């Protein structure tokens, strides 16, 4: 009887001991020291104010214009934007390679002035921009002068959180294209586009969305589908595929407009300028000195001295 009682007490004590240990483990497990606090990612740093170093400037050219056009650009505006500027061409050139180094991009594109050749170069520009990680892509031709100060001023005014495609339309109406559809059908689409001859800019947010139609071989394929050149294809992708809109700007200029209408006082505010033959006549900006039209037929050297009078080869005391 006594042994049975002792065994019962021992069993009760063992039960109480087990319950106590279980309770202790339970409370320890809920202790704040043992509960893992989820690690929150640090807040994303706010984008710094846009700098010229954030802009990728692509110049499209061809071997035939290396001497007549590119050397002029290298002596003028590219000398102020060398780290941001990349020249896309179709021919190797030792002289240009020495001056530009890795900023000369020799593509595998044809030297022809055809839709496939032009689209091939635009695709190379677009892919190089995506790989750069920079915030803005700006395309110009080899007959454009890029005013870096005005460009930066313009881009800083644009909403960074939205899709932005900005440039100058060459037409006063949308362009129409026939878009292929399944079962050998097609539909008529219309859209605005910024002429490549005046230059245009696209922010990274929009460029990433364009990639399925614009990166690698897709750009050439898209251009072939609508049978339009590269600048039209950019507008088609933005407006017809993504539902975006071109933001027209009067600050971009091509040789297909009357450049003499720009007053000298307006020139420092323009983002791009150009020169060329329009309606059978030489079409250049109207600017007095410091170089004569014979010395400076494009007027780019005179413009550069107006914007950067400290340039070593500019005559001293250029009137602003």
Under 8 Å between Cβ of 120 and 110: yes
Provide the strand spans (E) within the chain: 55-60, 85-89, 104-106, 136-141, 144-146, 165-167, 175-181, 185-191, 200-203, 247-248, 272-274, 276-278, 281-283
Beta bridge partners of 203: 136
| Separation of alpha carbons 80 and 315, rounded Å | 18
Q: CA–CA distance from 172 to each of 177, 195, 197, 255 (Å)?
A: 16, 12, 16, 16
Helices (H), 64-193: 71-75, 94-100, 115-132, 148-156
143 is catalytic: no
Beta bridge partners of 187: 179
* From 141, 163, 230, 231, active-site residue: 231
Rg (CA), the chain: 31
Catalytic residues: 231
């Amino acid at each position: 009887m006594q042994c049975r009682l002792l065994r019962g007490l021992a069993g009760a004590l063992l039960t109480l001991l087990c319950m106590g240990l279980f309770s202790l483990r339970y409370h320890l497990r809920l202790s704040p020291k043992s509960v893992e606090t989820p690690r929150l990612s640090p807040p994303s740093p706010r984008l710094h104010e846009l700098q010229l170093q954030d802009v990728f400037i692509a110049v499209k050219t061809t071997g035939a214009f290396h001497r007549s056009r590119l050397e002029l650009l290298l002596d003028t505006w590219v000398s102020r934007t060398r780290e941001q500027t990349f020249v896309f061409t179709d021919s190797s050139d030792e002289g240009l390679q020495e001056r530009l180094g890795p900023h000369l991009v020799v593509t595998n594109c044809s030297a022809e002035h055809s839709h496939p050749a032009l689209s091939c170069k635009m695709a190379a520009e677009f892919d190089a921009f995506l790989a750069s990680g920079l915030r803005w892509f700006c395309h110009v031709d080899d007959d454009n002068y890029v005013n870096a100060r005005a460009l930066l001023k313009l881009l800083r005014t644009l909403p960074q959180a939205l899709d932005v495609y900005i440039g100058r339309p060459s037409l006063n109406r949308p362009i129409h294209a026939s878009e292929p559809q399944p079962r050998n059908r097609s539909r008529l689409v219309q859209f605005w586009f910024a002429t490549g001859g005046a230059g245009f800019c696209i922010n990274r947010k929009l460029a990433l969305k364009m990639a399925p139609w614009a990166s690698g071989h897709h750009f050439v394929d898209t251009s072939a589908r609508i049978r339009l050149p590269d600048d039209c294809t950019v507008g088609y992708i933005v407006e017809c595929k993504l539902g975006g809109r071109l933001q027209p700007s009067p600050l971009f200029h091509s040789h297909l407009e009357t450049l003499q209408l720009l007053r000298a006082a307006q020139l420092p505010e323009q983002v791009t300028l150009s020169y060329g033959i329009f309606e059978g006549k030489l079409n250049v900006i109207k600017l007095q000195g410091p170089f004569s039209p014979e010395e400076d037929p494009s007027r780019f050297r005179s413009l550069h001295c107006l914007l950067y009078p400290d340039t070593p080869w500019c005559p001293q005391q250029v009137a602003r």
